[in-house]
């Protein structure tokens, strides 16, 4: 494949696997290129850019907006923490799917993460859902394994590429400090 | 019971506001959250309250500090900030005083966890002593820098617990340690590391039948020197996390007792197939031995029983004796580690006793696709031979059976033999390694028995992609294809083929079109009818019936397939071109407990020796 962007074939961004505890600590976001349509990324503290995530967990709360436009906010819990997820009229598929899921249920969510500033100045990471489906426990267990593996890959390999260097600069945590969280997540699986 | 209390709190809250709640439904709801979905009780309560509040149009309460009944003892691990609590625990460490306003500070622990405490000088509290148990009533939990600690002030009462009220120390299996506890363990010191720092007197690995962990003895602990190969009991060690690993720390408050004879926990024999990292006793037969290539190793080989086989190693120490091939041994206290994903057992000097029991073993032959790192027995045929890339390689390539294929390699040595084309071989006790997530079997040292009369159909080497299906595209489910010979294009809703125009005599097909994503790469994927049938249990006929009997028509099949496969982990076999995948054999990924053990081990991080 050529390095010239004009010749490069469109490749969809892969959906990153990330635990709630890591995602909530991400705050650095940036746009690749200057075009209005250029993709935006958030930089994960373990040193990888991310424009789409695939997460699973327990949907613990579902809130429908009161106003005119239909808008859902849901909370999904993984073994390490909470994901905040929303879907509005620009995500018709997700909107339709959420309306049929009750809390609590196990769900899998594909969506785009974004960083927002809360009124008190804190950064909040929330995921705009593209799709959400009810799944069974085994999918969540597979996801925990998958996410543990890919998180370990992120802290163990390519640690000198630009994304890793940027992360080291932006985030105070050492890459190795995530190991405890990964173990916590793995330990939550009951065989 | 805790769930009842939550139910009480919630129903009282809403009854007071004039909204009685059906108690049975409420309890079922809480039970679903907490028991079925393992949601922490506090989160379940929060979620259910805000649901009911919305239902009754009440204001959603913000998370105010929970009022705890202070007569009640809170397990230390459940203490959260902004609470008044009472605890019962043991003073496990006292810190030197840093400030005149602080009388004492240290750590108090119970069986659930440990927490720092500070006793203000103004509190006028009695002086507490290390190792003693106290009941601390009405202390305040607060948070500083993310760490919760207990503050003892003038309103707090501290009473020493009488010895009969203090729980007896319980021995925790090493395999189930969790961080931030003060506990007792029993185990064998299997490895000692060279000293690294003047503040550490000793460090190494300790193991019992349930697992292994690293330990550190602080120089300040004043503990006796531990010896490798000896069993000890450690009372009141701290477990913590360093570089992401659960470690055991020996402090001045820790009591170390060497165990001997009857005190050493008796270990039942374990079957080879059930061995995991830890310390084990077993009866097994030596099925292969190998000459060591390095001075430190006296002997390497393979031990087996009916259930499986494992690599063993004997270190070259003065007392060490090699094992005899084809002899059965009773082996005690062998230390098992995981090395590159495969188990390896260290047989200590004097721990192997030959036994007069020449049972023949029927080796456990497994399909190639079920092989994992370690020792395996296979029944296979040569599929493909690779060109030699090194002088040292005798033969390398692909071997396979009815289940699939795997790489193999044979290095040049005195006894190595080549696999002949078309011959079926029984391969006994070969070692499988993992490299770049690919398995490869090494045939050196294994027994190869050709079976001239046998034939075997090897499953063709497919590419395999594992990932989550993150998007299902339109054109999935039941589709109509152009019936023109050699065309087969998918027709639009109006039965229009881009080449052959309107085709009313279309043919139906089933497929999934979407994105299969492994977290690194996304494949533009098409799963053929066979694959869709395997995954969904639909057949072309049943899908057609479904579409014909539903007003949504073809869409109903799409939604049905969507519900079954979207967001699921799949294993798809087929062909890939760049980022496209054509899969004709698919299954749902199952949870793999072996993978879990491997990842827990990997999360430990590199051993810093």
Residue of A nearest to B43 (CA): A60
Enumerate residues 153 to 172 of chain A having a beta carbon within 8 A of any beta carbon in chain B.
none
> In this predicted model, what pLDDT tens digit does every residue of B508-526 receive, in sequence order?
999 999 999 999 999 999 9
Retrieve residue B550's tokens: 């539903």
Report whether pLDDT(A83) > 90.
Answer: yes
User: In this predicted structure, what is the pLDDT of residue A70?
Assistant: 84
Question: Which residues make beta-bridge pairs with A29?
Answer: A42
Q: How confident is the model at residue B178 (pLDDT cuts 50, 70, 90)?
A: confident
**A20-187 CATH:** 2.40.50.140
User: In this predicted structure, what is the pLDDT of residue B594?
Assistant: 86
Quick check: B207 and B190 in contact, CB under 8 A? yes
CA dihedral B337, B339, B341, B343 (to 10 degrees): -40
Chain B environment of A191 (Cβ under 8 Å): 593, 596
Choose between B534 and B195: higher pLDDT. Answer: B534
Q: Is A60 in Cβ contact with B603 (below 8 Å)?
A: no
Cα dist. B176→A89, B206, B208, B213, B406 in Å? 47, 13, 11, 10, 35
Retrieve residue B325's tokens: 């091939």
User: How many residues belong to chain B?
Assistant: 609
Q: How confident is the model at residue B62 (pLDDT cuts 50, 70, 90)?
A: low
Q: Which of B603, B605, B607 to mutate to test the interface with A (most CBs of A within 10 A)?
A: B603
- Residue matched to tokens 């202070």: B70
Chain A environment of B521 (Cβ under 8 Å): 14
DSSP alpha helix (H) spans, A30-118: 92-99
Report whether pLDDT(A10) > 70.
Answer: no
Distance from CA of B134 to the nearest CA of A (A): 30
Cis peptide preceding A7, ω within 30 of 0: no
Calculate what percentage of chain A has a pLDDT beyond 70.
94
Choose between B299 and A120: higher pLDDT. Answer: B299
User: In this predicted structure, what is the pLDDT of residue B245?
Assistant: 67
Whether A11 and chain B come into contact, CB under 8 Å, resolves to yes
Report whether pLDDT(B607) > 60.
Answer: no
Whether A135 and chain B come into contact, CB under 8 Å, resolves to yes
Distance from CA of A54 to the nearest CA of B (A): 7
Question: For chains A and B, what is the number of CB pairs under 8 angstroms?
Answer: 140
Q: Which of B288, B284, B260, B289 is nearest to B272 (CA)?
A: B284
Give the 3-state secondary structure percentages of chain B, helix then strand then coil, rounded to 5.
20, 45, 40
Report whether pLDDT(A3) > 60.
Answer: no
Q: Which of B330, B328, B338, B335 is nearest to B314 (CA)?
A: B335
Which residue among A14, A106, A177 places its CB closest to the CB of B517?
A: A14
DSSP alpha helix (H) spans, chain A: 20-23, 92-99, 137-156, 162-170, 178-187
Q: How confident is the model at residue B190 (pLDDT cuts 50, 70, 90)?
A: confident
Which residues are CB-neighbours of B437 under 8 A, at least 6 positions away?
none
> In this predicted model, what pLDDT tens digit does every residue of B435-492 receive, in sequence order?
766 789 999 888 899 998 888 888 766 688 999 999 999 999 999 999 998 888 999 8
Residue of B nearest to A137 (CA): B37
Distance from CA of B599 to the nearest CA of A (A): 7
User: In this predicted structure, what is the pLDDT of residue B514?
Assistant: 96
Q: Is B470 in Cβ contact with A15 (below 8 Å)?
A: yes
Which residues are CB-neighbours of B260 under 8 A, at least 6 positions away?
B231
Q: Is A108 in Cβ contact with B566 (below 8 Å)?
A: yes
Chain A environment of B522 (Cβ under 8 Å): 11-15
> In this predicted model, what pLDDT tens digit does every residue of B335-354 receive, in sequence order?
888 777 788 898 888 888 89
Over residues A121-133, the mean pLDDT reads: 90
Q: Is A188 in Cβ contact with B32 (below 8 Å)?
A: no
ipTM of the complex, rounded to two decimals: 0.92
Choose between B313 and B389: higher pLDDT. Answer: B313
- Beta-carbon neighbour count of residue A122 at 10 Å? 9
Over residues B213-242, the mean pLDDT reads: 86
Strand B245-250 and strand B231-242: the pairing is antiparallel
User: In this predicted structure, what is the pLDDT of residue B246?
Assistant: 81
Q: How confident is the model at residue B586 (pLDDT cuts 50, 70, 90)?
A: very high
Enumerate residues 49 to 88 of chain A having a beta carbon within 8 A of any beta carbon in chain B.
52, 54, 56, 58, 60-61, 63, 75, 77, 82
Q: Domain-by-domain residue ranges, chain A? A: 20-187
Residues B313 and B41: their CA atoms lie apart, in Å, by 49
> In this predicted model, what pLDDT tens digit does every residue of A17-31 receive, in sequence order?
999 999 999 999 888
What are the φ/ψ torsions at residue B39 (nearest 5 degrees)? -80, 135
Q: Which of A9, A10, A13, A14 to mutate to test the interface with B (most CBs of B within 10 A)?
A: A14
User: In this predicted structure, what is the pLDDT of residue B295?
Assistant: 85
Q: Which of B46, B14, B13, B15 is nearest to B30 (CA)?
A: B46
Quick check: B323 and B347 in contact, CB under 8 A? yes
User: In this predicted structure, what is the pLDDT of residue B66?
Assistant: 46
Which residues are CB-neighbours of A160 under 8 A, at least 6 positions away?
none
What are the φ/ψ torsions at residue A158 (nearest 5 degrees)? 45, 40
Choose between B526 and B143: higher pLDDT. Answer: B526
> In this predicted model, what pLDDT tens digit does every residue of B89-122 receive, in sequence order?
998 888 887 788 888 988 898 888 889 899 988 8
Residues A171 and B10: their CA atoms lie apart, in Å, by 40
Q: Is B244 in Cβ contact with A11 (below 8 Å)?
A: no
Report whether pLDDT(B65) > 60.
Answer: no
List, edge to edge, every strand of the sheet that includes A48-50.
A29-31, A40-44, A48-50
Q: Is A167 helix (H, G, I), strand (E, B) or coil?
A: helix
Chain A environment of B602 (Cβ under 8 Å): 152
Cis peptide preceding B153, ω within 30 of 0: no
Q: Which of B543, B552, B549 is nearest to B509 (CA)?
A: B543
Whether A32 and chain B come into contact, CB under 8 Å, resolves to no
Distance from CA of B155 to the nearest CA of A (A): 34
User: In this predicted structure, what is the pLDDT of residue A8?
Assistant: 43
Residue of A nearest to B518 (CA): A14
Chain B environment of A148 (Cβ under 8 Å): 599, 603
Chain A environment of B601 (Cβ under 8 Å): none
Which residue among A11, A133, A187 places its CB closest to the CB of B566?
A: A133
Q: What is the pTM (predicted TM-score) of this model?
A: 0.55
Q: What is the residue-averaged pLDDT of chain B? A: 86
Question: For residue A42, what is the enclosing H or E element?
Answer: strand A40-44
């Amino acid at each position: 494949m050529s390095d010239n962007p004009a010749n490069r074939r469109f490749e969809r961004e892969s959906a990153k696997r990330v635990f709630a505890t890591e995602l909530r600590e991400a705050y650095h976001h940036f746009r690749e290129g200057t075009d209005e349509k250029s993709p935006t990324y958030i930089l994960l503290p373990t040193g990888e850019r991310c424009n789409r995530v695939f997460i699973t967990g327990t949907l613990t709360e579902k809130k429908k907006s009161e106003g005119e436009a239909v808008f859902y906010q849901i909370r999904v819990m993984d073994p390490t923490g909470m994901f905040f997820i929303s879907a509005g009229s620009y995500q018709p598929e997700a909107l339709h799917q959420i309306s049929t899921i009750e809390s609590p249920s196990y769900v899998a969510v594909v969506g785009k993460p974004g960083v927002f500033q809360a009124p008190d100045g804190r950064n909040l990471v929330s995921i705009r859902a593209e799709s959400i489906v009810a799944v069974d426990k085994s999918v969540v267990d597979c996801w925990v394994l998958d996410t543990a593996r890919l998180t370990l890959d992120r802290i163990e390999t390519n640690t000198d590429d630009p994304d890793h260097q940027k992360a080291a600069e932006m985030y105070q945590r050492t890459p190795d400090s995530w190991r405890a969280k990964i173990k916590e997540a793995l330990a939550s699986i009951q065989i | 019971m805790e769930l009842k209390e939550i139910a009480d709190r919630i129903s009282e809250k809403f009854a007071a506001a004039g909204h009685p709640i059906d108690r049975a439904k409420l309890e079922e709801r809480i039970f679903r959250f907490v028991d079925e979905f393992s949601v922490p009780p506090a989160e379940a309560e929060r979620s259910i309250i805000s649901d009911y509040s919305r239902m009754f149009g009440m204001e959603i309460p913000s998370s105010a500090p929970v009022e705890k009944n202070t007569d009640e003892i809170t397990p230390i691990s459940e203490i959260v900030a902004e609470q008044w609590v009472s605890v019962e625990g043991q003073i496990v460490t006292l810190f030197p005083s840093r400030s005149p306003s602080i009388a004492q500070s240290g750590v108090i622990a119970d069986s659930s966890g440990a927490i720092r405490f500070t006793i203000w000088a103004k509190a006028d509290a009695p002086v507490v002593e290390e190792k003693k148990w106290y009941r601390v009533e009405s202390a305040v939990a607060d948070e500083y820098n993310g760490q919760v600690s207990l503050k003892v002030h003038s309103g707090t009462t501290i009473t020493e617990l009488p010895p009969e009220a203090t729980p007896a120390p319980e021995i925790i299996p090493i395999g189930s340690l969790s961080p931030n506890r003060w506990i007792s363990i029993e185990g064998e010191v299997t490895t000692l590391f060279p000293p690294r720092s003047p503040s550490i007197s000793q460090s190494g690995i300790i193991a019992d039948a349930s697992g292994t962990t690293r330990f550190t003895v602080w120089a300040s602990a004043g503990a006796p020197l531990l010896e490798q190969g000896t069993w000890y009991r450690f009372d009141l060690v701290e477990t913590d996390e360093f570089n992401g690993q659960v470690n055991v720390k020996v402090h001045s408050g820790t009591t170390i007792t060497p165990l001997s004879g009857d005190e050493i926990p008796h270990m039942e024999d374990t079957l080879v197939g059930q061995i995991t990292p830890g310390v084990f006793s077993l009866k097994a037969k030596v099925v292969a031995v190998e000459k060591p290539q390095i001075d430190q190793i006296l002997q390497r080989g393979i031990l087996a029983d009916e259930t499986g086989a494992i690599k063993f190693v004997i270190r070259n120490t003065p007392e060490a004796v090699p094992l005899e091939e084809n002899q059965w041994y009773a082996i005690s206290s062998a230390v098992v580690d995981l090395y590159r994903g495969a188990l390896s057992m260290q047989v200590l000097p004097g721990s192997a006793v030959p036994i007069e029991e020449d049972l023949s073993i029927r080796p456990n032959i497994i399909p190639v696709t079920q092989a994992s790192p370690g020792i395996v027995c296979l029944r296979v045929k040569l599929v493909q031979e690779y060109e030699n890339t090194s002088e040292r390689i005798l033969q390398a390539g692909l071997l396979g059976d009815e289940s699939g294929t795997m790489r193999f390699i044979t290095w040049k040595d005195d006894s190595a033999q080549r696999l002949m084309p078309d011959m079926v071989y029984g391969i006994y006790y070969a070692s499988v390694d993992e490299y770049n997530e690919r398995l490869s079997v090494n045939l050196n040292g294994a027994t190869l028995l050709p079976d001239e009369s046998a034939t075997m159909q090897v499953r063709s080497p497919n590419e395999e992609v594992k990932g989550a299906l993150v998007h299902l595209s339109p054109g999935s489910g039941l589709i109509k294809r152009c019936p023109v010979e050699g065309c087969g294009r998918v027709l639009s809703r109006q039965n229009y083929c881009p080449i052959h125009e309107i085709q009313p005599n279309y043919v139906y097909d089933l497929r999934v079109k979407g994105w299969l994503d492994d977290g690194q790469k996304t494949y533009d994927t098409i799963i053929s009818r066979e694959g869709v049938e395997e995954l969904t249990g639909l057949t072309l006929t049943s899908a057609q019936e479904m579409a014909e009997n539903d007003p949504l028509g073809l869409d109903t099949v799409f939604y049905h397939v969507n519900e079954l496969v979207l967001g699921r982990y799949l294993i798809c076999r087929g062909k890939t071109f760049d980022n496209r995948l054509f899969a004709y054999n698919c299954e749902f990924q199952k949870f793999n407990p072996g993978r879990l053990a491997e990842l827990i081990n990997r999360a430990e991080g590199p051993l810093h020796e």
